[in-house]
Structure 1
């Protein structure tokens, strides 16, 4: 990419927000340099899309931390639930939700990992869970149901949460098994917890972002994407310029065109300022 991007896609946790040390939660605050850099992008008339594993409701909260949307800039786009849900905000509106029959996935998880906590997401009604999740990990309405009720309705994703990393290959093996059955699984570690998202086959942040870019009339080559997790790999590969955070695992950095500073050194701001910074020469390459 040699010209200023016409669309910027940003992951949230590990990019805009950093993890609270020793916990499985992100700090619910945006560092000033990052907030200012994002707002400079918006001021330049370039859409900022939040692309995350979080729900649309969770992304609305993050937008508030960023002070978005700014007056006169129009509604935001969210690529939520790892691409399964596309939203506009404000007000929060689900534009598209890609669902799948989660019953087989739920049965396989319960059979293989009986100690895991499961959450089945419906983009419009919240989550059905087998056990309570720690406060703040799920955004929106949460209803506890019997395990056999989890797969009763179509879902946008299934979240599998392990309490500790005593079997680091367990979720990878489960993801591979479900992948053979046509259910995509992205495994990644969140703080001290094993966490696996299961989604409809072919649905990723990249597929969601491609739809948004088409709606906005922006070519793939004109998209800048920044991420740090395994669930960002497809998006970083798809975008005209994919940038990995400095703390990202090697496989994520390998998928990207470039690597910026870590989240605790304002890596998002460093990359955005390359294109939208106060320096009048920014964005020339």
Structure 2
């Protein structure tokens, strides 16, 4: 048996062992966006879109759970044809009612101290601060395709707002390992932070996570905790993979992410999400 067939068989076994309800209103599936639903080039495959559509037609509760802010989440919601349910944005700082395009829940923080500490250590990095209802504030334009929605370029001292939902630090020439060492040594207090796929860190309000926000959505839906599935590929997905009744890591996910999951599917380039969603359709 080839490695890909072995992986598919193992995923099938784990899905069966989870004893999940069939696709429909008793099932809740949370999906990371980048590297899970959407490929690295921003593309959304037709096979993934078809599997998502079938679950929506069956009545399955689908939620996006992403580090992206609301504008970035909206882009993918529209592309996937997802017009109902909830979307967890900014790593859990915002929960959006998709149908009403209204914020259900939000958590904010003052990024001033963290921004000052990180900027003193990495003055050449790019910085961004997001909040609800305002354009994103950035120190300079980020590389194409990395941010969605409107941004305004301002001096670093003008970035902080008292009700930020996310702060982003994007290294340019830093080695990712050195970047991580600097971030961890910056003494960030009263916040959560998540390391991205490169020299990138998201800073969020203390106590927020995708898992915590998804638990709020689950309670609103009154879905059994064991009837939940979460799929992701990054460090900010670890908690939600442990939260879910069945946590599934994407193929190629870093070892700590794969270790936090109950199962692993194919990579985003292999439409690993579609493979899982098809199995959950029965």
RMSD value, Cα: 1.6
Q: 1:34 aligns with which of 41, 45, 48?
A: 48
1:217-266 alpha-carbon deviations (Å, 9 max, x no partner):
11322110000001100000111110000110111000000001111111
1:197-212 → structure 2 map (5 Å cutoff): 197-212=202-217
Partner of 1:51: 65
Moved more, 118-127 or 253-262: 118-127
Q: 1:244 aligns with which of 245, 249, 259?
A: 249
Cα deviation, residue 91, structure 1: 4.3
Partner of 2:93: 84
Partners of 1:221 and 1:164 in 2: CA distance? 44
Unaligned runs of at least 5 residues, structure 2? 1-17
Partner of 1:253: 258
Q: 2:126 aligns with which of 98, 117, 129?
A: 117
Partners of 1:217 and 1:82 in 2: CA distance? 22
Partners of 2:244 and 2:191 in 1: CA distance? 24
Unaligned runs of at least 5 residues, structure 1? 21-26, 70-74, 277-281
Partners of 1:232 and 1:143 in 2: CA distance? 29
Partner of 2:239: 234
Count of matched residue pairs: 261
1:70-219 → structure 2 map (5 Å cutoff): 75-166=84-175, 168-175=177-184, 177-179=186-188, 181-190=189-198, 194-219=199-224
Cα deviation, residue 172, structure 1: 4.0
Moved more, 42-51 or 215-224: 215-224
Cα deviation, residue 76, structure 1: 2.5
Question: CA contact under 8 A between 2:211 and 2:239: conserved in structure 1?
Answer: yes
Residues 175/126 of structure 1: CA separation in 2 closer, same or farther (3 Å cut)? farther
Partners of 1:141 and 1:97 in 2: CA distance? 20
Partner of 2:20: 3
TM norm structure 1: 0.87
Partners of 2:185 and 2:210 in 1: CA distance? 19
Partners of 2:216 and 2:185 in 1: CA distance? 27
Question: CA contact under 8 A between 2:118 and 2:186: conserved in structure 1?
Answer: no
Cα deviation, residue 6, structure 1: 1.2
Question: CA contact under 8 A between 1:175 and 1:185: conserved in structure 2?
Answer: no
Cα deviation, residue 171, structure 1: 2.7
